[in-house]
Amino acid sequence: MPNLQKLQKQFQDYICDDKIHIRDCIVSDIKTPTDERLNIYRDAYYLRLIESLTIDYPVLYAKLGDKKFSTLAHEYIQSEPSCFKSIRWYGAHFCKMFATSDFYHELAIFEWLLTEVFDAENAEPVTIESMAAIPFDAWPTLTFQLTPSLRRMDFSWNIVPVWKAFYEKTRSPKLKQIFPHTPWILWRKQLETQFCSLPKEENYFLDALQRGKNFGNICEGLSDFVKKQEDIPTQAAIILKKFLDAGLIVSFAKKSDL
């Protein structure tokens, strides 16, 4: 008889890779053959992981239908056994089952990002009042930290309307491609998940914040998007206020703080 380590390896190989060495180690009788007993475990293994994928990807599941989704999930499980302590993380790479240009690929990424935002790290947003106390000459040196729940993705398909129609139980719009690609952000404000698309100047602004640029530099770059030079400070203030209201900014630092 194999030792415990070998026995476990053989058991696992039966479940994951259809290797049958473990059979010899299992008690059987006519009524209940070995494979029937082992298959209870194998079937439960696939069912459990497939179920966890359907929970992470409800819209993808609805769009593909049970048969197609289950086939893909089965392939995913075979190519990517779980190494996670919690099944919550198992579906992280499910989007790889689709070509990157595909509608389903984007839908999978979007649904996964929603799960990431849901239980991402908490952070208290900065209030507009706390920013009001900053002396005028310190503003150009300000840098900002964004909420750890922030996720960004560009859509080349109309994913969000299709996703929304599913939850609102309305007629799903036809799948269509979008030109040019639209940048979106997802984040959590307190406990609630939020998402919205960004106009290009806001996308630039967020990008710059994320890369740690200071407020002065960010304003300079805004000139690519704002026609009149004198409108830049107002435009910057509008965007910053929008981000603050949204709870996207969780801390800031003046140069003297750094």
Instruction: Kindly list the residues in this chain that would bind another protein in the complex (CB under 8 A).
Output: 1, 3-5, 7-9, 11-12, 15-16, 24-27, 31-32, 34, 36-38, 40-41, 44-45, 48-49, 52, 81-88, 90, 117-122, 148-149, 188, 191
- For residues 250 and 124, give the distance between their C-alpha atoms in angstroms, rounded to a whole number: 6
Backbone CA torsion sign across 224, 257, 244, 189: positive
Based on CB atoms, which residue is closest to another protein, 147 or 235? 147
Based on CB atoms, which residue is closest to another protein, 113 or 162? 113
Based on CB atoms, which residue is closest to another protein, 113 or 236? 113
DSSP character at residue 92: G
- Phi–psi pair at 148, nearest 5 degrees: -65, -15
Min dist. Cβ of residue 106 to another protein (A): 24
Min dist. Cβ of residue 196 to another protein (A): 19
Based on CB atoms, which residue is closest to another protein, 50 or 249? 50
Min dist. Cβ of residue 1 to another protein (A): 4
Q: Which amino acid is at 173?
A: P
Residue that has been written with the tokens 């239980």 in this structure:
119
- Phi–psi pair at 70, nearest 5 degrees: -65, -40
Min dist. Cβ of residue 159 to another protein (A): 22
Element (H, E) at 146: strand 143-146
